[in-house]
Amino acid sequence: MTLIADSAIDTLWYTRCPVPTASGLANSLGWLDRTANESGVRFGVLQDAGPELAVRHFDHHLSGLIREGGNVPALAARASGSPTRLIGLTWIDEAQAILVRGDSDIREAGLLAGARIGIPAWAADQARSFPRAMALHGFASALRLGELSFADVTLVEVATTAAPEVRTASSTRNTTWGVESLLRGDVDAIYVKGARAQEVAREHGLAVAVDLDSTASLRDRVNNGTPRPITVHADLLEQRPDIVVGFLAESLRAADWAAANIDEVRAVLQTETQSGPEGVVAAYGENFHTGLHLSLSDERVDLLGVQKQFLYAHGFLAADFDLQSWVAHEPLEQARALVAAQKGTEE
């Protein structure tokens, strides 16, 4: 790949959430940096940049940025007018559960009737209110499984960070909002997800009332990370499509690599999530490393549409928008062709 003269894009910026992603592995392996260098631009990771760039993780107002992370900020940014395109989706189940105290009688969805459920308060803006969005959708799914609705429970706001930023190597991000309220008896149930959440539950003797990952329907598991989007600033896609295709190609190669290197993948993920090996396995299962490949299948886009409509109905989007027009299929198609062609020359 060659440098395009007079290009306004001089840096490929990358940001992600601390969860299993092929792009995160590609970054850890140094492949994204390599792609940027071969394209004649610098490479920067938003998590390593100064605090002045941290908000770009949520509003995506950075022309050279590619983001892989939770869909709440991605959808909220697009709904607020951020010029982004959707170029990939992954689906990795990451333990979602409704937790109760160990002495609680609530052990199934139907028994949530009359419960006080902990919902994180609104943050500084819609995109950074993803903890509230996750809990609301998690409880909505659990209540539906019990043939209940929000009319059958009492919502109690619990404290959260007003302005969460991207997590750096020396910082942590809370994923268990409401644990203190649950332990104090202020609420009867909370929603949790991810590796650290599993460890916190064990540390405090909390019990799983509803295991959302055990549900047969993918729609009951739709939430902030399922499906997880990759979005790109429209300027980068328009000015340097070669960089976007290269980024996706490296992610596809990393997904191939992950399928054959589970121990290395788990080591990376333990660092990302700041959890132990048991927490990683409990949160993501034994075989998550085989399913990191990107897709823009009709099913995944439709599931993202389920999330979009939920967020819009509950006030997390500034406006509704057409999901199909947001999708850019060509970069992933070209990346797949590039990887296939390179595999062919190696065989």
Give the DSSP per-residue string, 224-242: TTBSEEEEEEHHHHHH-HH
Beta strand pairing call for 65-68 and 228-233: antiparallel
What pLDDT is recorded for position 5? 36
The secondary element (H helix, E strand) that includes residue 305 is helix 298-313
What's the rounded Cα separation, in Å, for the pair 230 and 214? 26
What pLDDT is recorded for position 278? 59
The percent of the chain in helix, strand and coil, each rounded to the nearest 5, is 50, 15, 35
The secondary element (H helix, E strand) that includes residue 99 is strand 96-100
Q: Please state the pTM of the whole predicted model.
A: 0.89
Q: How far apart are the first and last CA of the chain?
A: 23
What pLDDT is recorded for position 106? 97
What pLDDT is recorded for position 284? 59
CA dist list (Å): 93 to 42, 220, 257, 264, 284 = 33, 12, 20, 19, 6
Does residue 302 contact residue 208 with C-beta atoms inside 8 Å? Answer: no
What pLDDT is recorded for position 3? 34
What pLDDT is recorded for position 233? 98
What pLDDT is recorded for position 59? 95
What pLDDT is recorded for position 6? 39
Residues of the chain scoring pLDDT < 50:
1-7, 168-173
Does residue 328 contact residue 86 with C-beta atoms inside 8 Å? Answer: yes
Beta strand pairing call for 116-120 and 154-158: parallel
What's the rounded Cα separation, in Å, for the pair 332 and 330? 6
What's the rounded Cα separation, in Å, for the pair 216 and 196? 24
What pLDDT is recorded for position 166? 57
Does residue 209 contact residue 106 with C-beta atoms inside 8 Å? Answer: yes
What pLDDT is recorded for position 272? 65
Does residue 244 contact residue 330 with C-beta atoms inside 8 Å? Answer: no
